[in-house]
């Protein structure tokens, strides 16, 4: 990666997203799989765990999001891992703090939930918006399983208006999203171990998993620069507007896929 880092940074700063192939090697990935398997099995045993989202609460195979997985010691170490933070710092061209959180996402087979078009900074309310998400593919993410789509350069065009989406785990969607927007989106496929990084104001979405036997899981970590601060007034306004939906889902977290 070191030989290509300038090109990677330039692509990120111009487009608002970039892919780093094989960010984790097979040995690192196998450790993540092992720890996640234990964590997910433990989650299934918990009753009404507020940081777990199931597409169908009666079907354990339908687990689609886990927040706060840094409560596990192994994943807690990821929050301060230089492997992740140095990549974030290089792309933002600023010093970054430790990761804000680490979350697990999944699009399980047989549940056709899309991720609506949105910008993460509508949730974050960071000023200046010097923040990004590192999204690590754990499965093959392709058109069939619901890969991510990005609008190149949209992070340079400011925030767009959002409204409630009523989508499990993604309470907001862009109000004025058009067919033209859809057409300019670039689908980004990824292999296990690839890192897909996007800026906090990049417009993005993901399709549903159309398969009957394949999961599309990923880890996501959010980093912000040391100069970045939350606009508390904006954040409280957002929380108030989303309160009915958030209360319905029994969670005050927002995701950043």
Reported as a single tens digit per residue, the pLDDT across 89-116 is: 999 999 998 999 899 999 999 888 889 9
| Spatial contact of 172 and 256, defined as CB atoms under 8 Å apart | no
pLDDT of the residue at 168: 59
pLDDT at 60 over 80: yes
Instruction: Identify whether 216 is part of a domain.
Output: yes
Q: b vs e for 108-143, b when ≥16 Cβ sit within 10 Å of the residue's Cβ?
A: bbebebbbbbbbbbbbbbbeebbbbbbbbbbbbbbe
pLDDT of 120-131, one tens digit each?
A: 999 899 999 999
pLDDT at 212 over 70: yes
| Spatial contact of 142 and 104, defined as CB atoms under 8 Å apart | no
Instruction: Identify whether 255 is part of a domain.
Output: no
Average pLDDT (66-89) is: 93
- Is 246 or 40 the better-scoring residue by pLDDT? 40
Average pLDDT (198-214) is: 96
Average pLDDT (27-35) is: 96
Report the share of the chain in percent with pLDDT over 70.
Answer: 91
pLDDT at 56 over 90: no
Structural domain including 150 reads 2-249
pLDDT category, 3, cuts 50, 70, 90? very low
pLDDT at 254 over 60: no
- Is 72 or 49 the better-scoring residue by pLDDT? 72
Average pLDDT (127-145) is: 97
Instruction: Identify whether 92 is part of a domain.
Output: yes
| Spatial contact of 135 and 148, defined as CB atoms under 8 Å apart | yes
pLDDT of the residue at 252: 34
Instruction: Identify whether 225 is part of a domain.
Output: yes
pLDDT category, 84, cuts 50, 70, 90? very high
Instruction: Identify whether 256 is part of a domain.
Output: no
| Spatial contact of 210 and 92, defined as CB atoms under 8 Å apart | no
Instruction: Identify whether 185 is part of a domain.
Output: yes
- Is 3 or 120 the better-scoring residue by pLDDT? 120
Domain with 12 in it: what CATH number? 2.60.120.620
What residue ranges in 16-95 does DSSP mark as E strands? 17-20, 52-54, 63-66
Instruction: Identify whether 254 is part of a domain.
Output: no
Instruction: Identify whether 257 is part of a domain.
Output: no
pLDDT at 119 over 70: yes
Average pLDDT (22-31) is: 97
Distance separating alpha carbons of residues 198 and 153, to the nearest angstrom? 11
Number of folded domains in the chain? 1
Mean of the per-residue pLDDT values of the chain: 90
Q: Which two tokens stand for residue 207?
A: 């399709």
Report the share of the chain in percent with pLDDT over 90.
Answer: 70
pLDDT category, 172, cuts 50, 70, 90? confident
Q: pTM for the full model? A: 0.90
pLDDT at 151 over 60: yes
């Amino acid at each position: 990666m070191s030989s290509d880092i300038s090109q990677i940074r330039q692509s990120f700063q111009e487009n608002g997203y970039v892919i780093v192939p094989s960010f984790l090697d097979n040995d690192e990935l196998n450790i993540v799989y092992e720890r996640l398997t234990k964590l997910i099995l433990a989650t299934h045993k918990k009753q009404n765990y507020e940081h777990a989202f199931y597409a169908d609460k009666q079907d354990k195979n339908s687990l689609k999001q886990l927040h706060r997985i840094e409560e596990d010691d192994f994943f807690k170490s990821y929050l301060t891992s230089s492997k992740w933070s140095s990549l974030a710092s290089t792309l933002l061209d600023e010093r970054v703090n430790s990761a804000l959180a680490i979350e697990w996402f999944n699009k399980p087979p047989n549940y056709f939930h899309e991720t609506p078009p949105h910008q993460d900074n509508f949730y974050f309310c960071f000023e200046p918006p010097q923040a990004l998400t590192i999204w690590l593919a754990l499965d093959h993410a392709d058109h069939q399983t619901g890969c991510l789509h990005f609008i190149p350069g949209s992070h340079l065009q400011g925030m767009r208006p959002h409204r409630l989406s009523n989508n499990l785990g993604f309470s907001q969607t862009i109000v004025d999203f058009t067919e033209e927007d859809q057409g300019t989106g670039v689908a980004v496929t990824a292999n296990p171990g690839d890192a897909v990084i996007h800026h906090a104001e990049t417009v993005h979405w993901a399709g549903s998993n159309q398969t009957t036997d394949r999961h599309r899981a990923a880890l996501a970590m959010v980093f912000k620069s040391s100069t970045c601060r939350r606009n508390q007034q904006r954040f409280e306004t957002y929380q108030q507007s989303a309160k009915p939906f958030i209360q319905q889902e029994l969670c005050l977290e927002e995701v950043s896929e």
